[in-house]
Amino acid sequence: MGHMASTELPSLAPEQLAQEQSVLQLADFDEVVRLYRPRIFRFLMSSLGDRDVAESLTQDCFLKAYNARHQFRGESSLSTWLTRIALNLVRDHLRSRRIRFWQKTRDTALDLVDISDWIPDGGISPEATCLQQERVKELWRAVDQLSRQQRTVFLLRFVEEMELAEIAETTGMNTSTVKSHLYRALRVVRERVGKE
């Protein structure tokens, strides 16, 4: 990666890099990748449920960002910009997967058991752990049932913890549309996951 970042500026500290919303953020692209790769990968994996595809699209996302780094004007945060690129890649991927329906693309799909196994251990009893795993599985199934836009809004809100305005900026929707999708997604999840 070092060969990619042809920079005239010294490397920025990660804290500065995360906070600053300017074109200068892209000066040290290695740092950008290091900081934002987990987030982009997480969003892609939760959107598609496929580890290998998520990894490939993460690469595509950073390659696109690197090629278009001169177009980034700093009007939105770097995180929003990268997430928007990732979102477009998800849309393209789903479209092409619909076209290539004969290809088995979910071979490496993240199993429900895999996700529930990754719940942080809070020193709880095995019974409680089982219960938590069951909850995560239920939620994962519910999220899988959502429409693409509902799922995107839901994941950006509750997994990426983005603000509604930021989600609107990333997805290109109105804030009211984002709210509407979020409301519907939550209603489906409530119906599926259980009683409040």
Partner 1 sequence: MTMDTSLKSSFQTVHDPSLEPTGEVAVSIELFRSAMHAIAERETSRPLAADWLTPARDRRRRAQGRMILAWTCAAALCFAVVPHFNHPPAAPQSKVTNPQPETAHSNLSDTALLEQVDNEIAEPVPSSLAPLTELDSWNSTTSATESSLTQTEKKNVTQ
Q: Which residues form the interface with partner 1 (CB under 8 A)? A: 1-4, 33, 37-39, 41-42, 45-46, 51, 55-56, 59-60, 62-63, 66, 110, 114-116, 118-120, 132, 135-136, 138-140, 143, 157-159, 161, 163-164, 179, 182-183, 186, 189-190, 193-196
**Which amino acid, 133?**
Q
Alpha carbon distance 15, 46 (integer Å): 26
**Which amino acid, 10?**
P
CB of 149 to partner 1, least distance (A): 15
CB of 160 to partner 1, least distance (A): 9
DSSP state of 106: -
- CB closer to partner 1 out of 34 and 148: 34
- CB closer to partner 1 out of 172 and 183: 183
- CB closer to partner 1 out of 84 and 135: 135
- Using DSSP, state whether 50 is helix, strand or coil: strand
CB of 50 to partner 1, least distance (A): 12
Q: To 10 degrees, the CA torsion angle through 109, 112, 117, 121?
A: 120
- Using DSSP, state whether 109 is helix, strand or coil: strand
Tokens read off for 42? 């997480």
CB of 141 to partner 1, least distance (A): 11
CB of 114 to partner 1, least distance (A): 7
- CB closer to partner 1 out of 74 and 137: 137
> Which of 4, 8, 40 has the alpha carbon at shortest distance from 23?
8
- CB closer to partner 1 out of 74 and 105: 105
Under 8 Å between Cβ of 135 and 193: yes
List for the chain the helix, strand, coil content (%; round to 5). Answer: 70, 0, 30
Strand partners, 50: 109
**Which amino acid, 32?**
V
- CB closer to partner 1 out of 74 and 188: 188
CB of 95 to partner 1, least distance (A): 13
